[in-house]
Every structure is written in structure tokens, then in C-alpha cells.
Amino acid sequence: MKEKCIVLCRVPPEVERIRALSLVLLSALAVAASGAVAADKVAAAYPIKPIRVIVPFPPGGGTDFVMRAIAPQLSEQLGQQVLIDNRAGAQGVIGTQLGARASNDGYTLTIVDAATVISPALIDPPPFDVLKDFAPIAILVEQPYLITLHPSVPATSMAEFIKLVQANPNKYNFGSGSAIAHVSQALFYSVAKLNMTHVPYRGSGPLMAALIGNEVQTSFTGPGAALPQVKAGKLRAIAVTSIKRFAQTPEVPTLDEVGFKGFEIRGWFGMLAPAGTPRPIVVKLNGALNNVLSGGQAAQLLRERGYDLNPASPEAFGKFLGTEVTRWSKAVKQYGVKASD
């Protein structure tokens, strides 16, 4: 009877395997659950120390202006100091690379402009992959570009400028402070059949100094840097790159109006974190930034400089980034623009 019981009660091998697998799965689920709880606790306490925001351009440019306008209210929203770290070089590439390699704990962020989606298409091998190396947090503002001239250039309209440059090939220089400004101008001058020499600068701050000093005679420049100089009479605006006229310079026509139908280029600024930043932290940062953009001194200051404020979710910003990468990569290949041009 005892022997029979032993035989009948023996567990088949396949049942043992299922039981062992179940134990492994239960253990994995327990670990995952504890990890999720720990991540939630970290996110709930975040931030517990100052947050560094890398600005990949020098002080005085559009990206720097946007971040300095936002930083005080963002500090209030998060209850911690927001520290601005200007890391200029290679028209934004050096600082953006630094941001991509930072720890993904939410304490190092990077404010970027449209150049972020263009630089990888200009450099071989690409310095970073904006869609893989970063977690999108929020798009902050959008802007048109003002096409500005040094006052010494004998042209007061786009038609006069085109005629002047076509009559004097390679006499005039155009400057850029970012990859977006470089590619935008190369694209436009190719369409307009203008031959000029490109001079790159580390950001729109140094570019403004060069343009005012007549080192370069023209540029596509964001309103954050260009508008004060235009209003002061130090630069002349002859066109704007949006389809509709720019509210801050209503007397300046659009490229569409002066014969380049449908030609529109808009810049933007957004906030990124390193890839792998916990989702609850990304959501918390997105909410804080959107609150800043929804009202208060920062929003007023940005609107006064002509920026369009467009709060959006991380998912919407991520989708937008994908569209921009495709668009500008295609433009770089189509017009054969190179970083050395």
C-alpha cells in the first residue's frame, strides 16, 4: 500500500517544469513590481536637487533667451533651482552630445532648436540620434526667421537684394548660428540662384555681433536675437520666412508675398532628456513647462519677442521630431548641403 501511494503521488516531470517556470515568472513580476514602485517613489519626490539645463549655444542667442525667460518660473513650479549651462560649439552639436550622454535621472536636460534634427544629416558619422538618444519632454515655442541685412547693403527689398547679389556673385557673405539657419539659407539661395559665401558662427549671439560689424552682410535669424537689432536700426529686415506676416514687424513682407510661393521655414525650441529617463519624471517636467507657457511673466516676455507658444504632450513632441527629421534629412540630400558649405 505504501509503495502504491509513492507511485501515485509522484509529480510528472512536465508538471515540475511548469511549476519551476511559474516560480521564475512570479519572481520576475515581483521584481518588476518593486522596481515600478521604487520608480514611482523617485518620481514623486523629484526633484530633490537643482536641475541643470544645457544650452548648446553661447549667451545672447535665441536658445539662450528662451531658456532664461523660462527658468525662473520653472524653478517655482519644480521647487528647485534651474541652472543654465551654456556649452557652445559646432553650432550646437557639442552641447547636444553632452546632453545625450548625461545620466537619465532627470537632473540634466537639454534645450534644443530645429538644428538638432539637421546636424546628424550634415555630419558623417552622425554625432547623435535625436529619436534614439533622447526622451522628448515638451516643445516650447515656434518662430519664423527674419531675413536681415547690414544697413550698408544697398537694397531695401528682397527684389533689390536678389538683383544686387546676382550682379555681384560671391561678393557678399551670409552667416549662420545654427544648422537650421545654415540649411535654410542654402536651400533658399539655391532656389533664388544667389551665389554667396557661408560663414558659420557658434550661435546667434556671435552671429549678431558679426552681422552688426559687417563681417557678414545677411542672415536668417530668429526674432529673439534679431528683433532688438532691427528695432534699433542696426539691421534691416527685408522678408520673413513664415506664410503670414510677423506680428512684431507687420511692415515686412513674407517670402510668399515677394514671389516665392509656399516657401515657409519655421524654427522651434524644445526640451529633451536623455533616453531612458523615467516616464513619471518626463510627465512631471512636461506639466511644469506647459504651466510656465500658459501664462505669467515668461509667456508674456516670449510673446513680446514674437514667439508662438505651443504647449504639447511628450508624445506629440516626439511625433513632431520624427516628422522634422524626415523633412530636413530629405532637404539636405536634395540640395546637397554639407557642413563645410
Q: What is the pLDDT of residues 278-293, one digit of tens each?
A: 999 999 999 999 999 9
Q: Please report the pLDDT score of residue 310 as a whole number.
A: 83
pLDDT at 12: 63
Task: Inform me whether the pLDDT recorded for 29 exceeds 70.
Answer: no
Q: 193: burial class by Cβ within 10 Å (0-12, 13-18, 19+)?
A: exposed
**Could you tell me the strand order of the sheet in which 266-274 lies?**
82-86, 51-55, 108-113, 266-274, 134-144, 308-309
Rounded to 10 degrees, what is the CA torsion of 317, 318, 323, 329?
A: 120
Are 311 and 293 in contact by the 8 Å Cβ rule? The answer is yes
Task: Tell me the average pLDDT of the chain.
Answer: 88
Give yes or no for a contact between 329 and 148, defined as CB atoms under 8 angstroms apart. Answer: no
Instruction: Please tell me whether residue 237 adopts helix, strand or coil conformation.
Output: strand
- Backbone phi, psi, residue 274, to 5°: -60, 150
What integer is the mean pLDDT of 201-207? 86
Confidence check: pLDDT of 20 > 70:
no
**What's the pLDDT band for 3 if we cut at 50, 70, 90?**
very low
The whole-number pLDDT of residue 4 equals 46
C-alpha cell at 58: 553661447
Exposed (0-12), middle (13-18) or buried (19+): which is 31, by Cβ within 10 Å? exposed
E strand map for 26-133: 51-55, 82-86, 108-113
What is the distance between the alpha carbons of residues 181 and 176, in angstroms, rounded to a whole number? Answer: 5
Cell of residue 138, nine digits = 515638451
Let me know: does 283 contact 289? Beta carbons within 8 Å.
no
CA–CA separation, 281 and 105 (whole Å): 8
Under the banding of pLDDT at 50, 70 and 90, the label for residue 117 is: confident
Which residue shows C-alpha cell 521564475?
24
Cβ pair 219, 206 in contact under 8 A: no
* The residue to which cell 513647462 is assigned: 289
Confidence check: pLDDT of 194 > 80:
yes
Q: Which of these, 80, 201, 65, lies nearest to 140 by C-alpha position?
A: 65
- What the chain holds in terms of domains, given with CATH numbers, is 48-142+267-335 (3.40.190.150), 146-240 (3.40.190.10)
Q: Per-residue confidence at 305, pLDDT binned at 50, 70, 90?
A: confident
% of the chain residues with pLDDT over 70: 86
How much is the pTM?
0.78
Query: What is the Cα–Cα distance from 187 to 165, expressed in whole angstroms?
Result: 16
Q: In which band, very low, low, confident or very high, does the pLDDT at 19 lie, cut at 50, 70 and 90?
A: low
Write 84-89 long-range contacts (CB < 8 A, 24+): 84/53, 84/55, 85/52, 85/53, 85/54, 85/55, 86/55, 86/57, 86/58, 86/59, 87/54, 87/55, 87/56, 88/56, 88/57, 88/58, 88/202, 88/203, 89/56, 89/202
Instruction: Examine the pLDDT at 148 and tell me if it is beyond 90.
Output: yes
pLDDT at 6: 42
Average of pLDDT values for 32-54? 76
